[in-house]
Amino acid sequence: MTLFDMFPYTSQIYKNKIYMPSGVSTGMVIFDLLTETLTFLNTTYSCTESQIWQDKLYMIRSSGRDLEIFDLQNETLRNTIFSISGATRTSQIYQDKLYMPVANAGNIIRIFDLQTEISRFVTPLNPMRIFTSQIWNDRLYMPQNNNNTLEIFDFITEQIRTVNLPNNMGRVTSQIWQDKLYILQDSGTILEIFDLQTETTRSVTLPNRQRETSQIWQDKLYLPSNGRFPTVLEIFDLQNETIETITLNGNSCLSSQIWNGRLYMLDYGGRDIKVYTL
């Protein structure tokens, strides 16, 4: 593969650098935020989800049982194996454990102990297709993709329950702000706002876009577009629920990061990085 055939479904920031594993092939691009230069490192697998914990980048293989661990201090790479295979598009870290709900309609949440590097899994009753998740009050909130339910996993009891949502829609990105879970329709017009206190949901209508990534900065929700729709940046004011649309140059966006008052939007094919000053 070339340097730019990346499709970065996931990215992480560590010490003034954005790390972008490839989602379709092997390799990882590192973007230096200070010098705005790119370097390339070889990896063993494609990766669709990642997390940073104690100076290490954990890159979860797009499907299968493999986890690559990249030491960010000395830039060495090693591999470990989960106890069970699965596709992963979202993950969260809670009390030194990495939680990975499956994205391929299975009944699995994989749990990887970051201290001991031992993995296990729990089996929810409902098949799950989870592409986005958030943590709030010792619980993992997992909106189902292409369904109308929200799965809520209690970290303490390891029990899971289901709450109905008003729309049967795709969901691949979400954010939490002021005790509310904001869930974007991945291709369409709906923003679901789930009150985490009352567990009630209402919907807001947005322009018709495809959305794979989102960020929150100073009471605003930033939504770069992706895919077959025009490449724009939507800015949703979380206080008054109005939206501003800005036209962008370049290709559409799969992943994003905020650093030093700037929004970095990573191109679908990895060919450019758009920078928007917040």
Please indicate whether residue 71 or residue 252 has the higher confidence score (pLDDT).
Answer: 71
Q: How much of the chain, in percent, has pLDDT values that exceed 70?
A: 95
Total number of domains in the chain: 2
- Contact assessment for residue 211 and residue 172, using Cβ atoms and an 8 Å cutoff: yes
Whether 236 is in a domain gets the answer: yes
Whether 27 is in a domain gets the answer: yes
Please indicate whether residue 38 or residue 154 has the higher confidence score (pLDDT).
Answer: 154
The predicted model gives 62-81 an average pLDDT of 94
Whether 137 is in a domain gets the answer: yes
My answer on whether 154 and 237 are in the same domain is no
My answer on whether 245 and 199 are in the same domain is no
Whether 4 is in a domain gets the answer: no
My answer on whether 194 and 63 are in the same domain is yes
Please indicate whether residue 259 or residue 272 has the higher confidence score (pLDDT).
Answer: 259
Q: How much of the chain, in percent, has pLDDT values that exceed 90?
A: 79
My answer on whether 172 and 203 are in the same domain is yes
- Domain CATH number, residue 277: 2.40.10.480
* 177, pLDDT greater than 50: yes
The predicted model gives 196-215 an average pLDDT of 95
My answer on whether 131 and 222 are in the same domain is no
Which of 208, 226, 249 terminates a domain? The answer is 208
Q: How many CB atoms lie within 10 A of CB 111?
A: 19
My answer on whether 243 and 138 are in the same domain is no
For residue 248, what pLDDT is reported? 84
* 184, pLDDT greater than 60: yes
Which tens digit of pLDDT belongs to each residue from 124-173? 888 899 999 999 999 999 999 999 999 999 999 999 999 999 999 999 99
Whether 6 is in a domain gets the answer: no
Nearest to 266 by CA among 15, 5, 20: 20
- Domain CATH number, residue 27: 2.120.10.80
Which of 186, 208, 230 terminates a domain? The answer is 208
Strands of the 37-41 sheet, one edge to the other: 12-13, 17-21, 28-32, 37-41
Which of 178, 208, 238 terminates a domain? The answer is 208
My answer on whether 223 and 168 are in the same domain is no
Distances (CA, A) of 74 to 61, 67, 274: 22, 18, 29
Tell me what the pLDDT averaged over the chain comes to. 92
Burial of 272 (0-12, 13-18, 19+ CB in 10 A): middle
My answer on whether 109 and 133 are in the same domain is yes
**Bridge partner residues of 90 (DSSP):** none
Which tens digit of pLDDT belongs to each residue from 209-250? 889 999 999 999 999 998 655 579 999 999 999 999 998 877
Range of 82's domain? 12-208
Band of pLDDT at residue 7, cut at 50, 70 and 90? confident
Q: How many CB atoms lie within 10 A of CB 82?
A: 22
- Contact assessment for residue 22 and residue 43, using Cβ atoms and an 8 Å cutoff: yes
My answer on whether 223 and 199 are in the same domain is no
Band of pLDDT at residue 206, cut at 50, 70 and 90? very high
My answer on whether 81 and 204 are in the same domain is yes
For residue 270, what pLDDT is reported? 56
For residue 2, what pLDDT is reported? 40
My answer on whether 78 and 184 are in the same domain is yes
pTM of the model: 0.95
Rounded Cα–Cα distance for residues 133 and 142 (Å): 5
Please indicate whether residue 217 or residue 267 has the higher confidence score (pLDDT).
Answer: 217
Rounded Cα–Cα distance for residues 170 and 239 (Å): 25
Per the document, the length of the chain is 278
Whether 120 is in a domain gets the answer: yes
Residues 6+ apart with CB under 8 A from 237: 219, 220, 243, 244
Amino acid letter at 89? R
For the record, the structure tokens of 237 come out as: 């004011």
For residue 53, what pLDDT is reported? 98
Rounded Cα–Cα distance for residues 78 and 67 (Å): 9
